[in-house]
A and B are shown apart, each in its own frame.
Chain A
Amino acid sequence: MIKFIFRGVLRDRTRTLFPFLTVAIGVGLAVFLDAYLRGTTDSMFNTTARLVCGHLMVTTSAGAHAGEYATPELALLDVTPRQQELENSYPEVVWTPRIRFGGIIDIPDSTGMTRAQVPVSGMAVDLSPGGIEHKLLRLDRILVRGKTPRNTKQILLSEQLSQRLGLNPGDRLTLITMTADGGMAIADFTLAGTIRFGITALDRSVLLDSIADLRQTLGLPDGATEILGFFKNGVYNDRRAINISRHYNARHTHPDEFSPLLRPLREASGMGQLIDIVANATGLILTIFIIAMAVVLWNAGLINSLRRYNEIGIRLALGESSRDIYLSLLAEAFFIGLLGSTAGTLLGLGAGFYMQRVGLNISGMMRNATVLIDDVLRARIAPVTFFIGFIPGLFATLLGNAISGLAVFRRQTAQLTKEFSE
């Protein structure tokens, strides 16, 4: 019987082509959308994580309260033992300390007098070759001129700012900032190279320094404004991040404003609402997709019923029960759904795979943007992408045909001969 129905589906194209195409296109779109949405949000979250707050962020309570206005005065102390504790407690996360600071760079003229002064937004990280920050900040990719610092008292500066100030690698500059105890820190540096993150908000005034150098300048031995944590698989896991933060904070409940506070990306970046929207968006897209496709297929089923009006009448007249005919229509729908969903999934995966490998360059649209997002948008195919469209595609086909097929139970055969003669 199954073989018979399957053959009928394959041979009678007028019965199958439209529902097949509908399911295939719908499923294909759903699969691609899932991969695209996943990739885009990953890009947004990971860019924010890499450059701002990690997947997890430990700061002092006062530092968390001050947010982007936090100064090294509110930094964490005894970072090495704290980092060790984090590494032992949460081995699936890799941890790295950073110092975020503001300051002014003073450019001397040939006589050593001030030629220019500009405010900078600084970040001090572990710049050692092969270190985790090399990978996180993609130092090899963002370097425009010069080289990454190899010696002490060398810094990297935004290419945009360097161009504006007429600075070249090897030039001397002075950083003026505030020490951890509120004093003034003035230190001389050599420009090792220039960088471009490709993110306008950062490229205006970013300065990268070695954390060891800056600790000395700020009088902050073994201190950091933050310790950032990154899941080793590179993907932000919101639920796990929340659990880790609850667990860690429960163990560090001191009333002191300098006590450590661990926050997941959703809190540290203020992106919690966005994360929730994205999480719900996939479900919403699929629901709309199932409803829309079911309506289309219901309609297709109704047209099909009209076209097969005589066939159903004859089958009833020959003694086949309405229930059997209805079940055979559902079986046909199952096969169409199966074929359409398989084709659609392959189609969506193909497009998604292309976007994952090649991506879409949006740098032209991001010139004046202030959001932290990569210039190339990429999709990401996750295990769930393989069946996210398949099951709804099958379900929508069955649902559409189940509704339209109900007409079988209302089919009358009393005037069958008269209908044929007409």
Chain B
Amino acid sequence: MKKLLFLALLTGITPPDGNLLLEKIDKNISGTTRRLVAEMRIVRKRGTRTLRVRSYVKGDSAFTEYLAPEREKGTKLLKLGKDLWIYTPESDRTIRISGHMLRQSVSGSDLSYEDMLEETRLKDAYTASTIGADSLNGRPVWVLELTARKPDIAYQKRRLWVDGERHIVLKEERYSRTGKLLKTTAVLETKLFDGRWVATRATFRDMLRANGENESLPGTEFTVEEVQFDAPTPPGLFSRSSLRR
């Protein structure tokens, strides 16, 4: 805070209100609907796997379909609020992901199913305060500290490095209730789509895994190929019956 006051006195720039900045981030990323095609590059001890997925997001609902590799093609994930289901064509079963499974990694990546159940709108889940200023990827950023509004939120604290001008998160750290660093995100590339700045390449790291035997592994790289805001969604997509279609 002292650092911020000093900065404010020195430059005449007033640090933004954390909650206001959070609202702008939410507004930048969310539309009525969002459709994206992305590639997930998962580096494991025995080699690298690349998954290609197509996702539709509407409010707190999301539908994801695996397009590649062949072995996982046709696998679908459906999120409806706080519920998550997975469908695989080989077993022709719709399985609810809950309890023990929520902590499991999504297809061996650094993301867990619990991460997928996160509140879409940050402002609804956290209160934010601006704790500093920094520079990242050649852009000036504000450092926000987020505190969970509810005790059942997976990450009780988060630290975001936010491009205040473009309203996009460039770096993130997620912490447990005890202050242990659990996950990190580093945005490597951003792009402008329909007047909104979107992170098109980012690396996710599960720090619990990274601190163990996978220390040398770089994490999971997520590359967005296409983004479309307010795009029409196939009818009945956000329902369980759509999984077996």
Contact = CB atoms under 8 A, between A and B. Distances in A.
A176 B108 contact: no
A188 interface: yes
Nearest to B42: A182
A113 interface: yes
Given A106-B95, A114-B95, A114-B96, A186 B45 contact: no
Which of A108, A113, A114 gathers most chain B CB within 10 Å?
A: A114
B101 interface: yes
A184 B72 contact: yes
A174 B71 contact: no
Contacts of B98: 114, 117
Given A65-B213, A73-B44, A219-B71, A182 B108 contact: yes
A119 B100 contact: yes
A179 B106 CA distance: 12
A178 interface: yes
Interface stretch (B86-94, B162-170, B223-231): B86-94
Given A73-B44, A117-B98, A184 B107 contact: yes
B49 A183 contact: yes
Interface in B31-48: 42, 44-47
B151 interface: no
A302 B182 CA distance: 77
B195 interface: no
B52 to A, nearest CB: 13
A134 B109 CA distance: 37
- 4 nearest A-B pairs in the assembled complex, by CB-CB distance: A182-B108, A114-B96, A182-B44, A186-B88
Given A178-B105, A188-B91, A219-B71, 8 more contacts: A62-B45, A113-B94, A119-B100, A174-B95, A182-B42, A182-B44, A183-B107, A258-B46
Interface of B: 42, 44-47, 49, 71-72, 75, 86, 88, 90-96, 98-101, 104-109, 213
Interface of A: 62, 65-66, 73-74, 104, 106, 108, 112-114, 117-119, 174, 176, 178-184, 186-188, 219, 257-258
6 contacts: A74-B45, A117-B99, A174-B91, A182-B49, A183-B49, A257-B45
